[in-house]
Amino acid sequence: MRRTLLLSLVICLVNIHQAEIIDRCALAKLLHQEDMDGFEGYSLSDWLCLAFVESNFNISKVNENADGSFDYGIFQINSHYWCTDHQSHSENICHLECQELLSPNLLSTIRCAKTIVSGTGGMKNWAAWRMHCSDQPLSYWMTGCHLG
């Protein structure tokens, strides 16, 4: 029993160590600098809510879907449509390698997210945003964040 508990603890610590979490206000500042506030009608609060519900602000998150595609990065951008991971068929609409979506500087992620929301559906392309952020009061996501 102790051995199983110890092994579980080690696995959790390794997983936590591998996660690259960005601070909410640091993300807000970066998104503001990259002109995401108001882009296609979406506020910084929309973007912060999206990042939270998709990845809990984890830049390095990768999730495998039932269809064999993968979601990458802080916004969990899908490999079937938006990037190529050379593991599954991809339309690669953002013209980038999925691994670029795991970069801490987030510039490739932001460019791809702009491409996604500029198309049909906007942020509704993300089911988690539709379920948890759309038509919700979101201003609290910016509480305590100073963009200047």
d(CA 39, CA 134): 16
Residue 54 bears catalytic tag: yes
Q: Which of 37, 67, 71, 85 is catalytic?
A: 71
d(CA 110, CA 94): 11
Residue 135 bears catalytic tag: no
Where does the chain have alpha helices with state H? 2-18, 24-33, 44-55, 107-118, 127-132
d(CA 63, CA 128): 14
- In angstroms, the Cα distances linking 36 to 59, 61, 69, 113 are 17, 21, 27, 10
Q: Which of 23, 34, 46, 54 is catalytic?
A: 54
d(CA 49, CA 134): 9
> What are the catalytic residues?
54, 71
